[in-house]
Amino acid sequence: MEYRQLGDSELRVSALTLGTMTFGEQNSEAEAHAQLDLAVSRGVNFIDTAEMYPVAPRAETAGRTESYVGTWLKNQQRDKLIVATKITGPARGFAWIRNGPRINRAHITAAIDSSLRRLQTDYVDLYQIHWPDRYVPMFGATSYDAAQERDSTPIAEQLQVLAELVQAGKVRHIGVSNETPWGVGEFVRCAAELGLPRIVSVQNAYHLMNRTFESGLAEVCHHANVGLLGYSPLAFGWLTGKYIADPHAHGRITLFPGFGQRYAKPNVPAATKEYMRIALEAGLSPATMALAFVRTRGFTTSVILGATNVRQLQENLDSTEVILSAEVLEQIEAVHKVFPNPAP
C-alpha cells in the first residue's frame, strides 16, 4: 500500500480509504467489522464516515454508521489509524439532524461531541464539512444560480469554531466536501488572514464519468496544497458494468430510487460501455481500471472505496497494484473527448 501526505498536515494516509456509508443499511455490524478488518490487514489506515450515514439517509438510522465504526475502533490501536468524519450541512434538508443542520457554533459543537461519542474515541484526525452552509449547485446540477443564494454562516466564523475544536484536542485537522473552487479558495484565504487552521483536504466526487475536478479545483488545490479525497470512483456501481449487464442489478441505484439521479443521464450507458471495452481489452476488470485511474491522478491523495461485501472490497483493494499503460490512458482520453463528464 502506498501512503501519501494529506495536504500540509503530518498525516500520511493510505492511497485507498475505506468508505463506510453502507454500514447500518446495506451492511450489518458484523459485516462492517469484517470489512474494516480486511481493509486494515491490506494496509488501509484511513477510514471515512459521517454523522448522517448510512445511506439512503433517514431519521431511523442516522449515526448508526459511526456507531458501528466505534464498536470496532474501541478494540484497535487508535494511533495507528486515521479516522475522518463529517458534519452535515444544510444542502439536503435532513430535518431529523438538529432540526435542520447548519454549520455554525451550536451545530458544530453538538455534532462533534455526538460523533466522538458514537465513534468511542477522544478525537478525530480529520473533521470535514459535508456540504457547504451556503448555496452551491450539486447532485447533478452544474450551473450556479445567484437567485438561490441564502443566509449562511460566514466561512471565517466556521473556521473560528473549528479552530477551537483543534485547540481542545477533539479534532486534529479540518477539511471540506462537495466544495467549489471559490469555496476552497475562501477557506484558504480566511485561514491565512486570521491565523486559523487551514483545510488539508476536499472530498468530492471524481471518476471516469465526472472529471469536473480537473477544470478548476485541481488548480486551486495544487497551489493551496489541498488533497483530493475522491469519492464515488465507481460512479455508484456504473463503472463496474453491472447496470449494463442488468439494469435491475442489486445496488444503491436500484435499492433507493431517486438516490442516483446524477447518473440518470443520457450518455452514461454509452460511456460505460466504452470504458468497459477498454478495460476488458487490457485484461482488467472495469472496476479495477476505474479505481486505478482515480488513484494515479497527480492531484489525488486517496480514493474512497465503498463495498457491500468482502469479495467486492478484496477486488477494490487489489487495484492498488495496478498502473494503467499509456495505451489505456490514451483510449480513456479518447472516450472522454466523445463523452465529457456524462455524470457530473
DSSP H or E stretch at residue 136: none
Distance CA 36, CA 282 (A): 31
Considering 3, 53, 206, 275, which one is annotated as catalytic?
53
> What 3-state class would DSSP assign to 135?
coil
Count of residues making up the chain: 344
Task: Tell me which DSSP letter residue 131 carries.
Answer: S
- Sorted by sequence, the CB contacts under 8 Å of residue 293 that are 6+ apart come out as 207, 208, 324, 329, 332
> Do 114 and 158 meet the contact criterion of CB atoms below 8 Å apart?
no
Distance CA 344, CA 209 (A): 7
Query: Rounded to a whole number, what is the largest CA-CA distance in the chain?
Result: 54
53 given a catalytic annotation: yes
Pairing label, strands 82-87, 16-19: unpaired
Known catalytic residues are 53
